[in-house]
Amino acid sequence: GIETGTRSTQMICITVKCNILYRTKMIFEKQWMFMDNSVGELYGSTFEVDSGGKLILRKPNNTEDPTDTKGAGLDNRHIVDDGKSQKLTRDDIESLKEQGLKGQEIIQQLIDNSTTFRDKTEFAQEKYIKKKKKKYESNVTVLKPTSRILAMMYHGREPGKVCHLRYDTLAQMLTIGNIHAGSKVVVFETCAGLVLGSVMERMGGHGSVIQLYPGGGPVRAGMESFGFPSHFHNTLHEFPLCKVNALLSGTLNVSEKDLDSQSNGRSDEQGSSSQVSTDRGDESSSEPQSMEVSTDPAEAKKKEDSEKLREQKVKKRVRMEEKRKRLAAAAALLEGQNADGLVIASRFHPCPVLLGLLKFVAPSRPFVVYCQYREPLIECYTKLREQGGAVSLRLTDSWLRHYQVLPNRTHPVLLMSGGGGYLLSGITVTADAAATSGSQQKSGEPAAKRIKLDEIKSTSDSSA
């Protein structure tokens, strides 16, 4: 990740060993740079960007502030913001940049040419300097991509891609779901792979993760930004959501479907080859001299196209075989119905997804569902109370406020996030099917509550 200046929320994440190309211009926060000098340096290193976009490593002892304040005023009541306090114009500042002055030197020039800086209080002076540093200092800090950095980046820049999932809510999901190394976790999310990557980071490459995805394929842009090593990807499996019902009913047969697809591909290939041979036969019958001419450009191009088509079909057959193997491996993991946890965070209605995927979770295991709105989770809560199979159901709301902690001016930040979404969590249990059906026939009350009432009644009868 890259952090510019002191803005901790405006970051992008890169993978040093994969995505950095030499002499490739990179633009971030209206600042263009070349990342060549960052290769081989430690995470957390801070660089200065010179006029040519080259990164220069800053020394650790270069932390003093060269700006000279020389006293401060008592209050700001007599300061009027009329736009005339700064003597330097924009053209003067641009000329200073062209002369090669660094950001600290430009800030010192702004302080010297300000008529109201000396009258400001010490706190106001520090705030002014901090604001100018953000604007004129070009410092870049290379950070290791983590779930916290990526969650803050997505929530600050593109919250719609992650269903407005806030970073503190993501942390609660990982804690409530008891995500740890060596566990088997089922994940269904449409948050650009952010939740999936966070789960894999918490597991540390040990265990197995089964990602259920809607549509034609999984979306893993956020997960790929973590830059995991290769053995992390060996623990990741994928399974389409549309085949869950077939897997539960026992009608899923991967081999037969792939055989059908392969046979269709073969028949298409045979049809295309026969068509090509027929066309060539027609050409040979109409033009008998074409067999003798081997340097005909049209014939050579047709032969090249047929070879390309054959290679494409072979590659497609290999991809289908790999997809079949991945599907079979994921189905084998889900068929045991002994997953250690379930994490759901999607833009779809969570109720049918939750009721279907809970069957893959072993008893006495946690599950957590995230939704941006409260009403869908209330429906899930009601359904689970009616059918049983879950205890310790909790519907919570996340609340977060930042505090500024500075000497003599610690206070809550005025602007805060309006909402971090809602979480529904619980623990799976095994319910007696006969008792559940009998209790539902006796009364319309929820099964778990009815069973408890029957136990109390039987205990009182035996004591009497």
Question: What is the band of 236 on the pLDDT scale with cuts at 50, 70, 90?
Answer: very high
> What does the alpha-carbon distance between residue 372 and residue 423 come to, in Å, rounded to a whole number?
9
**pLDDT tens sequence across 150-206:** 999 999 888 999 999 999 999 999 999 999 999 999 999 999 999 999 999 999 999
Query: Rounded mean pLDDT of the chain?
Result: 79
**pLDDT tens sequence across 82-139:** 778 888 888 888 888 777 777 788 888 888 888 888 888 888 888 888 888 878 777 8
Question: What is the band of 70 on the pLDDT scale with cuts at 50, 70, 90?
Answer: low
> What does the alpha-carbon distance between residue 156 and residue 413 come to, in Å, rounded to a whole number?
16
- Give the per-residue pLDDT at 202: 94
- Give the per-residue pLDDT at 298: 77
- Give the per-residue pLDDT at 360: 93
CA dihedral 371, 372, 373, 379 (to 10 degrees): -10
- Give the per-residue pLDDT at 5: 42
> What does the alpha-carbon distance between residue 102 and residue 49 come to, in Å, rounded to a whole number?
9
- Give the per-residue pLDDT at 106: 85
The DSSP H or E segment spanning 342 is strand 341-345
Q: Give me 348's structure tokens.
A: 């779809």
Backbone angles phi, psi at 343, to 5 degrees: -125, 125
DSSP code, position 42: P
Contacts of 222 (CB under 8 A, 6+ apart): 150, 154, 162, 191, 192, 193, 194, 196, 197
CA distances from 140 to 10, 11, 32, 36, 46 (A): 12, 10, 11, 13, 6
Q: Give me 222's structure tokens.
A: 């956020």
Averaged pLDDT, 65-90: 74
- Give the per-residue pLDDT at 67: 56
The DSSP H or E segment spanning 274 is helix 254-286
- The closest alpha carbon to 150, from 208, 88, 196, belongs to 196
**pLDDT tens sequence across 24-50:** 777 777 777 888 888 888 888 888 887
> DSSP secondary structure string, 425-440?
EEEE----HHHHHHHH
- The closest alpha carbon to 188, from 261, 250, 140, 244, belongs to 244
The mean-pLDDT minimum among 262-276, 386-400, 442-456 falls in: 262-276
Could you tell me which residues are beta bridge partners of residue 373? none
> What does the alpha-carbon distance between residue 129 and residue 115 come to, in Å, rounded to a whole number?
15
CA dihedral 354, 356, 362, 366 (to 10 degrees): 0
- Give the per-residue pLDDT at 447: 54
Higher pLDDT, 119 or 369: 369
Quote the pTM value: 0.73
- Give the per-residue pLDDT at 275: 43
- Give the per-residue pLDDT at 162: 92
Q: Give me 350's structure tokens.
A: 């969570």
Cβ pair 392, 427 in contact under 8 A: yes
